[in-house]
Structure formats: structure tokens, C-alpha cells
């Protein structure tokens, strides 16, 4: 199973969440299977996201897409995200 971990800070969680939810169909079309959202303890605008993706190739293509960059800007992402792609091994 392919997982994608993302951590980044946002200006405002509600604004970010609206943009994230609006992008659901695009994420699914790109290969997303599921996601979870968390926050760094004590930092409500420092988000940790864990996605399940259908393939490494599709995850990388989605991460590099212009559409994602535009949606992140719309959602108020304040910094370059930390992104890790990995495979479950048990």
C-alpha cells in the first residue's frame, strides 16, 4: 500500500479545509484512496496529513501538479510542505 505523509502550516484551518474539501474529486481522480488529517499538538494550523494512494507514480504526478499548487495557495498554505512517500511493510 502506498502512503503519502504531508506536513505544512496554514494561515487558517477553516479556509484550508474548505479548499481541501473542494479538491476531493481531483484528488480521487489522481489516485487518492483515503486520507486522515491531524495537527501537531498545540499548533492548530500545523497540519499532518496521511493519504493512501493507488501508486507511487500517481502520487508523484499529483504532488507535482499545477492544480495542487494553485489549490494550496488558495487554501492559505504558508510554507513548502514536507512530503514523504512510502510503502507499508506490515
Q: What is the grid cell recorded at 75?
A: 487554501
Tens of pLDDT, residues 26-40: 999 999 999 999 999
8-state DSSP, 77: B
Written out in words, the top-level CATH class of the domain with range 2-87 is: alpha beta
Sheet holding 32-40: strands in order across? 32-40, 43-53, 2-9, 82-87
How many whole angstroms separate alpha carbon 57 and alpha carbon 73?
24
Hey, where are the domains in the chain?
Answer: 2-87
pTM of the model: 0.92
pLDDT in tens, 59-71: 999 999 999 999 9
- Residue 56's pLDDT band (cuts 50, 70, 90): very high
Residue 45's beta-bridge partner residues?
none
Phi (first) and psi of residue 7, to 5 degrees: -130, 130
Amino acid at each position: 500500500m502506498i502512503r503519502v505523509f504531508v506536513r505544512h502550516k496554514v494561515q487558517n484551518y477553516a479556509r484550508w479545509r474548505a479548499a481541501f474539501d473542494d479538491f476531493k474529486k481531483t484528488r480521487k481522480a489522481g489516485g487518492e484512496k483515503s486520507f486522515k488529517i491531524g495537527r501537531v499538538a498545540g499548533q492548530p494550523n500545523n497540519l499532518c496529513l496521511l493519504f493512501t494512494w493507488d501508486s507511487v507514480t500517481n502520487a508523484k504526478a499529483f504532488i507535482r501538479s499545477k492544480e495542487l499548487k494553485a489549490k494550496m495557495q488558495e487554501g492559505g498554505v504558508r510554507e513548502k510542505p514536507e512530503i514523504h512517500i512510502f510503502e507499508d511493510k506490515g
